Every structure is written in structure tokens, then in C-alpha cells.
Chains A and B, each alone.
Chain A
Amino acid sequence: MTRFNIVKRDDLPKKREWFIRTLAILFSIVSAGLVIWILGFNPMEVFPGMVKGALGTEIRLTQTILKAIPLIVTSLGILVAFKMNFWNIGGEGQILMGALAAAYVALNIEGLPRLVTLLLMMVAAMIAGGIWAFIPAFFKARMGVNETIFTLMLNYIAIKFVTYLQYGPWKSPESQGFPKVATFPDNAILPKLFGIHIGWIIALVLVVLVYIFINHTKKGFEIRVVGESKETARYAGMNISSVIIIAMLISGGLCGLTGMIQASAVEKTLTASLSGGYGFTAIITAWLARLNAIAVLFVCFAFAILLQGGSYIQVSMQIPAAVADMMQGIILFFVLGSEFFIQYKISAVGRNTTQKEVA
């Protein structure tokens, strides 16, 4: 029986590493195509349709960038938490709470200059998102409460709470019974530059800032150490509780900022569906980017193509947009699997009579 030897390899040339990853993504596209084909659609129409729908015209490209912006900012937030091995899957809730705080400022504070209003909204959103992330961080740091379930449950609570406001106390009297929060005044709407709201500048600046924070500051270093080994961190005399809480305040703050950007520039009001699944997609993009802030930029743009392409084929070919969600899963399955071939070397050792097969 052929026996396989699995050995951890120390250094794989970067080139080969990326070759394996590219191969994994190619495989995932082929498998996604297969699934699409089994479900009765023609992948040769679906894939080109998606690319055309995302990049084909200037308007579609704008739509793609509009989807990339919240994805980048949220992914950066998720990245900070994941670096620390803290599984923040509460991005959706943090986005919504940020949007809620921004909406409160936009609808209640009048007469300030536009710049001041917008800055106030951003600060409020970051604080609200930060608080929503602080709660599970506090319990994790103090009592070791499982953060995965905690952050996820807070998503549902945030959604229900915003729905309650939208249908109840915050319902606009001018909406003729339709459950809708009032539209923001012009002062509270992000201006545009080159036809796209300035969220794209915010996103680019944040990519650089988060990169510097994680790789070149003391706090960023501490976050990485806590993520790799709590024992090492403790041995080095770090205050783990405070590292967890600070990292989560940043993580939730960034997600909250996404909420502000979406509420101000895209929806121009507060809605319960404003988070649009970005909190979950960001988990995938952050991981695919190997938790590297610069790589986040490119991965998120690629995923924005996938999302925009998905909604385009829904309209133009009557293919459910959920095909994009499914593809996200398939791509990540393959990339997760490919890590094995990057970390380990496998060689067949010919025939073996005495030993059992190593499964």
C-alpha cells in the first residue's frame, strides 16, 4: 500500500506559494461553474455575464466601487480582531449600530457646517460600533466568554433594535405610513469626488493606517503576539485584557464607520437592511487577504466584482444573485484547503507492508 509522508515545510518560495493559491482559485471557479451547470444554468454565460455586469460600463464600474468601499472598511475592522485570534463575526451589528448613531446626529443636530456635521457623525458611529464590540470583548477578557456566539447574537439584537426604531419611534411622519426613517439633510451626506462619494478616499487612507498600525506600532505588535500565543504575551508582561479591549474598540469602530458611510452616502437614511451582509463577506475577504491590510484592498475589489456581477445577472438573466454568495463559499473552501499544500510537503513513499496507512 502506498504510504504518504506529510512533513511540515519551512520555507516555500513566495512565487510557489502564490502559484498554489492561484491554482486554488482557478479550481474554485471551475467547481462553482460545475455547480451552476448542475443547477441548470450555463456557466459560459454566467461568468462572462458577471464580469460584464461589474466592469462593462462606467456606471457598472461605479456600482462595483460603491460595493468595494464598505467591504474594505469592514474587512480592515475584522482583520484587527482576527489578528488577535478574536473571532469577531459581529460586523453586521457593529455596522448597524454605527449607522444608528450617525443617523441620530444627522437627524437631530442642525445648523452646523457640513464638515463638522460629518465629522460628528463619524465619531458617533465609531463610538457606537466600538461599544457594540466592547461588550463581548469585555466578557471575553474578564471571563473567557465565547466571543463567536456573543458577537453573532449582538447582530440579531442590533437588527431587531433598528427595525423597532424604523417601525416605531423614528418613523418619519412624512412617509405616509410607510415605515421609513427620515432622509438625512444635505449637510449630513458625504460629498462626491470623481463621481463617487469620498468613502473611497477614507477606505484608501484606512488601508494605509491599519497597515502601519498592525506592522509598525507597539499596540499592533501586542495584538499580533496575543493572537499567536497568549502564553508568550503573558510571559512578556503584556496586559492581555487591555490588548483585547483596545483591539476590539478599533475593530468595532471601523465597522461602525462603515455604517456611517453607508447611511450617509448610499442610503441617505437609516434602514435595518443597510449592513447588506458586508459584515459576513468581510470575514472571507479578510481571511483571503491573509490578514494583510494592503491585500484587503485587492481582495475586496475582486469580491465587489463578484457581488455586483451577481446582482447584474439576477436582473439580466434571471439567475438568483445568491449564486455570488455560493461562489464566495466555494472560493474560500478551496483557498482554505490549499493552505495545507503550502504548509506541508507530501510525498508518496512507495510500498509498505508492515505499517498501516497514514490517513
Chain B
Amino acid sequence: MEGFLAATVIAGMPLLFATTGEVITEKSGLLNLGVEGLMLMGAIMGFVAGYETGNPWMGLLGAMLAGAVGSLIFAFLTITLRANQVVTGLTLTIFGTGFASFMGKSYVGLVVPQMIKDFFVKIHVPLLGDIPFIGPVFFRHDVFVYFGYFLVVAVALYFYRTKRGLNLKAVGESAASADASGINVMVYKYLHTCIGGALCGLGGAYMSLVMMSVWVENVVAGRGWIAVALVIFASWNPIKAFIGAFLFGGLSILGFRLQSMGIHISQYWVDMLPYAATIAVIILSSRKNKKENQPPSDLGKAYFREER
């Protein structure tokens, strides 16, 4: 059981980064449906940079840059040029998928260098790792996972305990009011979209550099979309996103687990589970109508200062 839960943490990690990234983006009022594309761009650029330099930091940097540049395209089109956010996001996914598959053609089957494998080796955290049950599940992983924990706490503190976090909320709820109160709406929107994109890129890099450690085409396999759904599930709260990511991470590896337990159920049915569960989640979340569970009011709307 401990082994399964520890594997769940690993499987949930790409979702955690992507979901947190998308929460940050959506908090600023932008609905970026390009998460899948951003994750793929991060996955391939992280892999290429890591493979070519042998340096894990370059891999992470490459992934973040790819995600940030991809979302910068999105930000420019939707914020400055006021293009339709849904269509622009979809386009970003199509572009990112093509980009990753094009860039990755000559890397298919190649394995990440030993230096990077060593960097992401499992580390047993002193003390914390010795706590019964919790230790083996949460504190015997690679550094990437610990960065994920840190990220969730940092983002939660930023949202709920800082002035900038409050400003961000104002921008997402009503850009016009935020603008009137002197917040630089454009900077907030651009910055948070790019940070969100960089995190999606990291989520992709976790798949290519750590989970798989080898480049396979379309490595992300729909996780970007599950992340978009998890944002709704988490009602834009990073702590809930953490729980959701691991829940869905667990679902995605349930098949192997069941088979190893000798339960015979077709692999294809088990494969459907995360997607079916995502549908269940969005149906159930649509029933929630508590005030704090609502999306930012300005989500998906372009902001026209001149038409205020």
C-alpha cells in the first residue's frame, strides 16, 4: 500500500505542476486551454536541453523557458490583441503538439544522461522520511517532488497572505476595478500567464526527464487537459489542487496495480478511468455554488480599457 501511494505521488507530480500553473494563470482572468501544448513544449525542450548539456539545471531551465515563451504567445494574442481565449488556447495545444513531435523526431528512444539521473535520484529526507507511513509515501522521492511541495505552499501563501496575491485576485475578478484602483492590470496578466506557462513546462519536463527518462512521442498523453479540469475540481485553490493531482495520479497507475494484484480487468477499461473520473469531477463541481468555489468573474473575458 505504501508503495502504491508513493507511486501515486510520482504519477501526480506532472499534474501538480500543470494544475498549479493553470490556477495562477486563471487567477489573472485568463483561460489558457493550451496546457497540453505547453507541457509538451516543456517536455521536449527540457529533454533536449538536458540531453545536449547533461546538466539537469539546463533541462529545467529549457522546460520553463519553453512554457513561458509558449504562454507569452498566448498572452500577446489574448491580452494585447484581444483574440478569443478558447480558440487561442486550442491553437497553442495544436502548435505545441506539432512542435514537440517535430523537435523530438531525432530524440525518440534516447535516454537521459547519467548526470541527470543522478541528480533526480531518490533522497530519503532525514527525520521526515522516518515517520511511519507518511515517510515512505511523501519523503523518499527526488528533489523535483520536494520542489512541488514547496511550490504549493508558496503559491498558497502568495494568494492568501500577500498584497500582490490580493491584487491578482482583483485583476481576475474585475480588471476594470483593479485598473481603477491603480493596479497595473496588463503587467499582472502577462506575468502570471507566463509563470503559469513555465510551471506547465516543468510538469512536462518531469514526465520526460524523471518519470520516463527517455523521449517517447506524445509523452504527456492528455494530462494537460486533466490539469485544466483539476483547476475546476480544486476551485482555484492550490492546496486542493495538490489533493486532486495525487488522486488523479493514483487513478492513472491503478491499472498496473490491479494487474499485479491478480485482478483481471482489461487494460483499456482501466485506461479510461482518469478520463471518466474527470468528467465526473466537472459534473460534480458544477453543482457547487458556494461563493469561494466560483471561478474568477472575469475569466475568459478580454479587457478593454477603452470600453470601460
Is there an interface contact between B81 and A336, defined as CB atoms closer than 8 Å? yes
Q: A6-B306, A333-B95 are in contact. Are A287 and B87 (CB under 8 A)?
A: yes
Output the nearest chain A residue to B229 by Cβ-Cβ distance: A149
Output the nearest chain B residue to A336 by Cβ-Cβ distance: B83
Assembled-state Cα–Cα distance A344/B88 (Å): 19
CB distance from A170 to the nearest CB of B (A): 12
Is there an interface contact between A358 and B94, defined as CB atoms closer than 8 Å? no
CB distance from A303 to the nearest CB of B (A): 12
CB distance from A100 to the nearest CB of B (A): 14
Whether, in the assembled complex, A34 has its beta carbon less than 8 Å from a beta carbon of chain B, the answer is no
Is there an interface contact between A161 and B268, defined as CB atoms closer than 8 Å? yes
CB distance from A227 to the nearest CB of B (A): 12
Is there an interface contact between B95 and A329, defined as CB atoms closer than 8 Å? yes
CB distance from A140 to the nearest CB of B (A): 9
Is there an interface contact between B83 and A322, defined as CB atoms closer than 8 Å? no
Is there an interface contact between A152 and B225, defined as CB atoms closer than 8 Å? yes
Q: Which residues of chain A are near B286, meaning CB under 8 Å?
A: 139, 143-146
CB-contacts of B74-101 with A (<8 A): 76-77, 80-84, 86-88, 90-92, 94-99, 101
Q: Interface residues of B: mostly helix, strand, loop or mixed?
A: helix
CB-contacts of A175-214 with B (<8 A): none
CB distance from B90 to the nearest CB of A (A): 6
CB-contacts of A113-147 with B (<8 A): 139, 143-146
A139's partner among B87, B96, B283 (CB-CB below 8 A) is B283
Is there an interface contact between A340 and B287, defined as CB atoms closer than 8 Å? no
A153's partner among B95, B105, B232, B279 (CB-CB below 8 A) is B279
Q: Which residues of chain B are near A280, meaning CB under 8 Å?
A: 90, 94
Whether, in the assembled complex, B275 has its beta carbon less than 8 Å from a beta carbon of chain A, the answer is yes
CB-contacts of A145-164 with B (<8 A): 145-146, 148-150, 152-154, 156-157, 160-161, 163-164
Is there an interface contact between B77 and A336, defined as CB atoms closer than 8 Å? yes
CB-contacts of B214-240 with A (<8 A): 222, 225, 228-229, 232
Assembled-state Cα–Cα distance A322/B92 (Å): 14
Q: Interface residues of A: mostly helix, strand, loop or mixed?
A: helix
Most chain A CB inside 10 Å of its own CB: which residue of B76, B77, B88, B92: B77
Q: Which residues of chain B are near A6, meaning CB under 8 Å?
A: 306
B101's partner among A150, A156, A287, A325 (CB-CB below 8 A) is A325
Q: Which residues of chain B are near A327, meaning CB under 8 Å?
A: 98
Is there an interface contact between B228 and A149, defined as CB atoms closer than 8 Å? yes
Q: Which residues of chain B are near A281, meaning CB under 8 Å?
A: 94
Output the nearest chain A residue to B88 by Cβ-Cβ distance: A336
Q: Which residues of chain A are near B283, meaning CB under 8 Å?
A: 139, 143, 145
Assembled-state Cα–Cα distance A153/B94 (Å): 16
Is there an interface contact between B105 and A333, defined as CB atoms closer than 8 Å? no
A336's partner among B87, B97, B98, B282 (CB-CB below 8 A) is B87
Whether, in the assembled complex, B115 has its beta carbon less than 8 Å from a beta carbon of chain A, the answer is no
Assembled-state Cα–Cα distance A199/B83 (Å): 35
Q: Which residues of chain B are near A358, meaning CB under 8 Å?
A: 305-306
Is there an interface contact between A322 and B102, defined as CB atoms closer than 8 Å? yes
7 residue pairs A–B, Cβ–Cβ below 8 Å: A146-B282, A153-B279, A322-B101, A325-B102, A328-B95, A329-B99, A336-B88
Top 8 closest pairs, chain A to chain B, by CB: A329-B95, A325-B98, A164-B268, A326-B98, A322-B101, A340-B81, A322-B102, A336-B83
B-binding residues in A (CB < 8 A): 6-8, 39, 87, 89, 139, 143-146, 148-150, 152-154, 156-157, 160-161, 163-164, 167-168, 280-281, 283-284, 287, 320, 322-330, 332-333, 336-337, 339-340, 343-344, 358-359
Q: Assuming A7-B306, A336-B83, what are 17 further A-B pairs, CB within 8 angstroms?
A: A39-B103, A145-B282, A145-B286, A146-B232, A150-B279, A153-B229, A157-B275, A161-B272, A168-B268, A287-B87, A322-B98, A323-B102, A326-B95, A336-B81, A336-B87, A358-B305, A358-B306
